Structure 1
Amino acid sequence: MTNAPLRIGFAGANAERGWARDAHLRAVRAVPDLTVKAVSARTQVIADAAAIWFGAQVAYADSLAMVRDPEVDIVAVTVKVPEHRGIVLAALEAGKHVYSEWPLGRDLAETKELAAAAQRAGTHCMVGTQGGFAPAVRHAATLVQGGSFGRPRNLRVVSTTQGWGKQVPPFYAYLQDKRNGATLATIAGGHTLAMVERVVGPYVELSAMSSVLVPDVEIVETGETMRRTSPDHMLVMGRHAGGCVSLVEVLGGIALPLRFELTCTGGTLTINGGHAGGFQVGDLVVSTVPPSPAQSGQAAPAATGSSANVSELWAAFARDIRDGTRTVPDFDDAVHLTLLLDAVDAASEGGGRVTIGT
């Protein structure tokens, strides 16, 4: 491998909107070892406009053609979740490294299929659970797991997002249909549970209640009403491998700062901050009693706002590819998180406790 920057092809690039434009572009530009080589979109017109915005040299109206481009090293899959499978499989078959937005697949079967394909391909794969990879979250995990405050005893988390409210824009209407796999539970809930496990360890049992509190949703611009089938509120009560108990609430339709309050036998730790789009999008700060060592700097300090946590993922991914290490959340981690979310569904539907890992 040369020392030239790793070349990324973005599937699902758009010059007008989207997570690739709003977060990934600035995130990648903050990492010297990465560059945008190509983009793809639904039409050539959209792709050409995206190429100008992203600074890409090549624009494709067909994502499958882009993944076969020999000058693309990494395929970044930033399309809607139902479209992930085809592009990810094609990219792996072409021998590419792959970044996929979270959730990886629409359901557990699809997620396992993609993880198995990644194992066969042997390339580096990353899933975009940047919430659990945020510098503040990793710092908190280091402090807790290093025993700085004794044994974790109880944790309370309130995680909110303005999404899944009473009104949604047309391009987010698909998020209201549970069958598409991109829901409050999988997106906001997935990021939140990944953060919780990162700090206090894996769940061993849980109970849950998921609810649709606002069943009728207005599509802004058109005024149409659609029926929401995906929960807009989620409660998870669990016990973790180290004995810590936790209560996690995930709410849609409201933008409040993250509340992450951990009590240990020798002190307390909180994570503060957040963003209207969810804590994983914003800057976070760790506070402790008694005081603890300061958080170390970001790997990509040039990235700020919604790009900061994403840039941390990209910087680590580039290092992994260069060094042969595997430090970022991968497709096997996506399977684990999907299994955990399925357990939340089972607990909510059955009304009892679910044991994890059996």
Structure 2
Amino acid sequence: MSVGRPIRVGIVGANAARGWARDAHLPALGKLSGDFVLSAVSARTQVLAEAARDAYGAETAFGDSLELARSPSVDLVCVVVKVPEHHAIVLAALAAGKHIYCEWPLGRDLAEAQEMAAAVGPDSHVMIGLQGLSSPAVLAAADLVRSGAIGRPLAMRVFSPTAGWGTQAPPHYAYLQDKRNGATLETIAGGHTLAVMEALVGAFVEVDARNSILHSHIDVVGQGAVERTCADHMMVLGRHAGGCVSTLEVAGGVTGKPFRLELDGDAGWIRITGDFVGGFQGGVLTLETSVADAPSVAAITDLTGPPANLAESYARLAADIRTGQRTVPDFERAVRLSRLLETIDLASTSGHRTTGALT
């Protein structure tokens, strides 16, 4: 890639009519036109890909995502498709020497995540889509903790609601009800939340958990009843490397209640709130603190909703690609989080507290 020219982006999973690429990725990239240019899009069919190309102004359309992943006209492959499809696309892109932004979860399970992480070459910059870690509020809170502004972190309480995994789902979300697909309340809503908790107070070293299926069958609109095999409610009690203790509730099918994270230290406190209905990571977060001289939270764009934290993420990735630094959450971070989630699932099914190096 030539120094100074925009990074050429290829989006796998673009759709002109709906989807996360349309609602979040493309507006975010559009605000960073000095860093990125949309070179290619792919979709399930050539017709859909061409419609997305025309809608978003891409140069090329691919009906085969693997062709996009290998295209010489693409520097950065953005993987924005269902989790079971990540593995093949990511491995193809890495084999072609591409940079990658992949939505979280990286793979259906720990083994897939480990295989993809092991395939990352020295010249590829990869980022896992834990966009909450790029939220200006989260970064500012982490700086306050790191600086000692609230003293020693003692206790954290988190309530993380999402409208997903309620009693009804549209057809394109039916696959989220099957645990085997790896895209569940535990991995998505839980994973995003656990990542932020660890960013503030360090890795979990002890967990006790109760993952529950409160609604064993749900209504898929236009299709009828479908069995749910993944948890739609999650409770975790934890202890972190620095000694802080934490409680987490992840609740599916909840609207009208905000995300809330409260952290008490022995010299002050921090509170982070958010109200995006699909999960806190999809919206702008608000930071409050007892620290009198805390710096103001500054975003790089005026975006709100789903594109906001993605723009922050893409800006960090662009800086890494330009400078050669490696500051963003990468696939090794995804592996550690996948391992933590498997540990939490084991603690829930066994009924036993788990201790040690969990990530």
Instruction: Please indicate, yes or no, whether the TM-score normalized by the shorter chain is above 0.5.
Output: yes
Cα distance between partner residues in 2 of 1:355 and 1:295: 37
* Local SS of the residue matching 2:148: coil
- After superposition, give the CA deviation of every residue in 1:298-357 in whole Å (9 maximum; x if it has no partner): 2x3143221010111100001100000111110000000001101110100111111242
Give the equivalent residue in structure 2 for 1:45.
47
1:86 aligns with 2:114: no
Contact conserved, 1:7 with 1:74, CA < 8 A, in 2?
yes
Q: Deviations over 1:269-293 (max 9, x none)?
A: 1001230000000111111114342
Letter in 1 for 2:182: G
Q: Secondary structure at the match of 1:230?
A: coil
Q: Which runs of 4+ in 1 moved over 2 A?
A: none
Task: Show the counterpart of 1:247.
Answer: 247
Cα distance in 2 for partners of 1:100, 1:2 equals 24
Q: What is aligned with 2:4?
A: 3
Per-residue displacement from partner, 1:69-120 (whole Å, max 9, x unpaired)? Answer: 21100011111100001100000111110111000000000000000001x3
1:57 aligns with 2:59: yes
Q: What letter corresponds to residue 197 of structure 1 in structure 2?
A: E
Matching residue of 1:152 = 153
Aligned residue runs from structure 1 range 204-223, under 5 A? 204-220=205-221, 222-223=222-223
Q: Deviations over 1:171-205 (max 9, x none)?
A: 00000000000000000000000010011111111
Identity %: 54
CA contact 1:93–1:121 (8 Å) conserved in 2:
no
Distance in 2 (CA, whole Å) between partners of 1:190 and 1:291 is: 32
Letter in 1 for 2:7: L
Q: For each residue in 1:120-173, what CA deviation from the matched residue of structure 2 results, as whole angstroms up to 9, or x when unmatched? A: 353100110011221101110110111001101111000000000000000000
1:223 shift after superposition: 4.5
Q: Alignment partner of 1:280: what SS?
A: helix
For 1:140 and 1:226, the matched residues in 2 are separated by 41
Per-residue CA deviations over 1:28-81 (Å, capped at 9, x if unaligned) read: 111120111100011011101111222101001011111222110001111110
Question: How far apart, in 2, do the equivalents of 1:292 and 1:230 lie?
Answer: 44
Bigger mean CA offset, 179-188 vs 28-37 = 28-37
Paired residue secondary structure (1:194): helix
SS, match of residue 103 in structure 1:
coil
Hey, what's the Cα distance between the residues in 1 that align with 2:89 and 2:223? 33
Match of 1:69 in 2: 71
| 1:271 corresponds to | 272
SS in 2 for 1:340: helix
Q: Which residue of 2 aligns with 1:111?
A: 113
State the one-letter code of the partner of 1:201.
G
| Equivalent-residue separation in structure 2 for 1:36 and 1:290 (angstroms) | 42
The residue correspondences of 1:1-358 to structure 2 (distance < 5 A) are 1-31=2-32, 32-118=34-120, 120=121, 122-220=123-221, 222-255=222-255, 256-298=257-299, 300-357=300-357
Give the superposition deviation at 1:294: 2.8
Task: In structure 1, list runs of 5 or more residues that go unmatched.
Answer: none
Letter in 1 for 2:271: T
TM superposition score normalised by structure 1: 0.97
Contact 2:161 2:279 (C-alpha < 8 Å) held by counterparts = yes
Find the residue that maps to 2:345 and give its secondary structure: helix
Distance 2:216 2:175 in 1: 14
- Contact kept in structure 2, 1:184 and 1:231, CA below 8 Å: yes
* DSSP-derived class of the 2:119 partner: helix
Is the Cα–Cα contact under 8 Å of residues 171 and 223 in structure 2 kept in the other structure?
no
What SS class does the counterpart of residue 7 from structure 1 fall into?
Answer: strand
CA distance in 2, matches of 1:198, 1:292: 22
Q: Is the partner of 1:23 in helix, strand or coil?
A: helix
CA contact (8 A) 1:274 1:281 kept: no
Q: 1:296 deviation in Å?
A: 3.9
Q: Which amino acid is 2:312 matched to? A: E
